[in-house]
Structure formats: C-alpha cells, structure tokens
Amino acid sequence: MKIIVCAKQVPDTNEVKLDPKTGTLIREGIPSIINPDDRNALEEALRIKDKFENENERVEVVVLTMGPPQADVALREALAMGADRAILLCDRKFAGSDTWATAHAIAWTIDKIGGYDLVFCGRQAIDGDTAQVGPQVAEYLNLPQVTYVRRLDIERDGGTVTVERALEDGYEVIETRLPCLLTAVKELNVPRYPSMRGIFDAYGEKQVEVWSADDVGIDPSVIGLKASPTNVRRVFTPEPRGKGIMLEGSGKEAVQNLFAQLREKRIV
C-alpha cells in the first residue's frame, strides 16, 4: 500500500501579517513549520502504516512538498516522524503559481510517483488559506475526494475507505473506493512527536529527493505565473475594531447598564 501526503511548509503564525505597501506576506523573523492540517494527514498515514504493518502488509508513506529549498527542514521532520520517503518539488519555473498551477504541479508529481492507494492533504494551509489545492489535485487526477475528514477506516479487502466528514453541526459518513484523495482536519488525531531515533535517521540514512519540473516532465505551460488565472487585485489587513466597553459595578448593575445601552442604541 502506498500513501502520498501533500505537506506544505508555512510560517508559524495564525495571524499572517501583510506588508501594506507590497501586499505580500511578511515572513522575516517567523519560523516555518509543517502546515498543521498536513501534520494531521501525515499522522493518520503513519497510523495506517503502523496498523497494516502489524498485519504484515508493507505500507509506504511518501511526503511531497512543493516549495523553496528551505522546505527541506519540513520534509526532514516528516521523515523523523516516520515517513519512508520525502520529495521536494523545487524549481524557479513554479514561481508565481496560484492554487490552480500549484495543484497542477502537485498532480503531475503524484502521477510520476505512481502506484498510490491514497492521497492525503490538509484541509487548508494557514498562510494561503484557500482550501483549494486538495480538491483541485483530485480533479486533475480524476480521483474521488472527501474533504474535512475527521475519522477514517480502510477496508483493505473491499478496496474502500469509510470516513466521517465534519460538518458545521455534525458529520456525514461517506464510503468511497481507493484510490482516492482525502483532506484532513485537526479533529482527526493528535500528531506524534519525532523520536530521537527518527531524527537521527532523518538527517542520516534517509534522504530528501529534490525533483525539478523537468525531472517530473511537467508541461511548462501549466505552471508558473503565466498558467495562473487568479489575479490578486488587493490584499489588506482588516481595520481593528473599536475598543470594547467595560461595565463596572455588581452583576445586577452591569446587566442594567448593558440593557440601558442596548435600548439607547435601539438594539432591544
């Protein structure tokens, strides 16, 4: 069995700050991490590996990142957690790619890796935040997809997977055939920490394979700025809201005060 996990390296912040002049992310001084949802996807792949290898079926977990050379660190961490193989898709030809072109590049690479049963993405990256890449990759690869996966169970003999898909006020149970693409949410599991042995291996015997667009054989017309139909017109930080009002006095006085103010504003 082969599971491919798409993991993006992102700045370690939920409050991405923007340069108001250039409209680009301010990355200086912010350490990079594996995108949190992708860490859940990786953890689930490793749990499937643990389970099936206990039953004597070999499972290969391959982690794939498209990013700059610095993303090597994120891939080493994935190897230290227990991934078998790490691939860094890295080429200046990808510069300026929007989600459409990024998904195209990732889909071609998954196709090149081949022989997979499951492709796992995170629901959403905490910097770009679009949640588009997973579903787009599934469309390119013509795979069934289930997003927002919070629980899963693989039925190996039947070649199917049954998942719980998180909804705002509950969940739905969906069964689909393998191969398929799933996107993980944080409720799926608690990711493990790399072991000391894992860290040694990740910087020793295990390697990060660096692939260029030519290595994969990607059609140059589907990647980079020219192949990106998204046009970002304006990027801005929302204006901070006004200061809150502290209501003083006892609980009863504060409630009376609150109602008086709400009545004054004709809210009640």
Ligand X SMILES: Cc1cc2nc3c(=O)[nH]c(=O)nc-3n(C[C@H](O)[C@H](O)[C@H](O)COP(=O)(O)OP(=O)(O)OC[C@H]3O[C@@H](n4cnc5c(N)ncnc54)[C@H](O)[C@@H]3O)c2cc1C
What residue ranges bind ligand X (CB under 6 A)? 6-8, 35, 37-38, 64-67, 95-99, 102, 106, 121-122, 124-125, 127-134, 228, 230, 232
User: Which of residues 129 and 214 has its CB atom nearest to ligand X in the complex?
Assistant: 129
CB atoms within 10 A of CB 223: 25
135 vs 257 by CB, closer to ligand X: 135
11 within 8 A of 96, measured Cβ to Cβ: no
- CA–CA dist 43, 187 (Å, integer): 12
Between 231 and 250, CB nearer to ligand X:
231
CA atoms within 13 A on the CB side of 210: 10
Supply the minimum distance, in Å, between the C-beta of residue 128 and ligand X: 2
Q: Which is nearer to ligand X, 122 or 194 (CB)?
A: 122
CB nearer ligand X, residue 32 or residue 228: 228
Amino acid identity, residue 78?
A
58 vs 226, which CB is nearer to ligand X?
226
Provide, rounded to whole angstroms, the least separation between the CB of residue 95 and ligand X.
Answer: 5
Nearest distance in Å: CB 210, ligand X? 14
Q: How far is the CB of 167 from ligand X (least distance, A)?
A: 19
If one counts every other C-beta atom within 10 angstroms of the C-beta of residue 242, the result is 6
> Min. distance of Cβ 129 from ligand X in angstroms?
5
- What is the full DSSP assignment across 41-110? HHHHHHHHHHHHHHTT---EEEEEEES-GGGHHHHHHHHHHT-SEEEEE--GGGTT--HHHHHHHHHHHH
In the complex with ligand X, which residue's Cβ is closer, 128 or 201?
A: 128
CA distances to 47, 90, 100, 106, 227 from 221, rounded to whole Å, are 38, 17, 12, 14, 6
- Asked whether the beta carbons of 96 and 224 are under 8 A apart, the reply is yes
To ligand X, the closest distance from the beta carbon of 1 in angstroms equals 19
Structure tokens given for 10:
């992102």
Q: 208 with 148: CB under 8 angstroms?
A: no
Q: Give me the torsion for CA of 27, 126, 96, 109, rounded to 10°.
A: 120
State in angstroms the smallest separation of the CB of 109 from ligand X. 9
Taking CB atoms, the residue at the shortest distance from ligand X is 128
